[in-house]
Amino acid sequence: MPTARTIITVALEGMNRLSPGETADADLLAIALRQLNNIADQWSAGRAYLFKDAFVSGAVTGASLTLAAGSFAAIPLGRAIIGATADSYAMQPMSMADYRDIYDKTSTGTPQYYAHDGAATVYLYPVAAGETILIHANVELSQFADLDTNYTMPSGYQAGFAAALAVALAPALLGNVTAALLTSERRATHGIVGSNMRPAILRGREDVGNIIQGY
């Protein structure tokens, strides 16, 4: 399982900035980690890039629950909901228009439907009365925690990160970005993008090739 230190080392070796057996000094590692996290943040902004599955649950009483707060703080504002359960029973999604047209929104019972407003609020019908609601969502990876946390990545991601990092560091360390580094970056990232953009029916699962998780 690669670490940020491993990715940085591979990038520096590819730039001929490290000799065999040599290690980067603390200042260079700190700069490289900041650049690596900037790359991770940029990639996370794309719909086809890095995420990990999050299953977040909490007891809910009322007609709605709030993402990015309380028991559901781990799901950021605006994240799409993949699925939800109430006391382990699957709930069905409904549109905000369908929720709007429910005549009596005050009926209580185990929620069978949910409607997400696209931001923080998830409306429940019937109104929850203390049931445990579980939300399944994708949460982006935007930061490597430190140099030595191990991350599980699909094939190709370590190479992609290292190649992109080499390009990001090249102006400061080499004075310019060489054609060889750009070619390496394109080659390394092309496979990642191609894998993630394949239709789900070809990939088998919606998350194949995308999950990245730190341990």
pLDDT at 2 over 70: yes
pLDDT at 206 over 60: no
CA distances from 104 to 4, 60, 95, 117 (A): 53, 19, 16, 19
pLDDT for position 64: 98
Domain layout of the chain by residue ranges: 4-50+142-214, 52-138
User: Would you say 18 and 173 are in contact if contact means Cβ atoms under 8 Å apart?
Assistant: no
Residue of higher predicted confidence among 22 and 155: 22
**38-52, 82-96, 160-174, 190-204: least confidently modelled range:** 190-204
User: Would you say 147 and 4 are in contact if contact means Cβ atoms under 8 Å apart?
Assistant: yes
pLDDT band at residue 210, thresholds of 50, 70 and 90? very low
pLDDT for position 45: 66
pLDDT for position 124: 98
- Stretch 38-59: mean pLDDT: 76
Number of alpha helices (DSSP H) and beta strands (DSSP E) in the chain: 6, 8
pLDDT for position 141: 67
Of 104, 70, 109, whose CA–CA distance to 86 is shortest?
109
Residue of higher predicted confidence among 184 and 192: 184
Report the alpha-carbon distance of residue 100 to residue 85 in Å, rounded: 21
User: Would you say 144 and 4 are in contact if contact means Cβ atoms under 8 Å apart?
Assistant: yes
- Stretch 45-59: mean pLDDT: 73
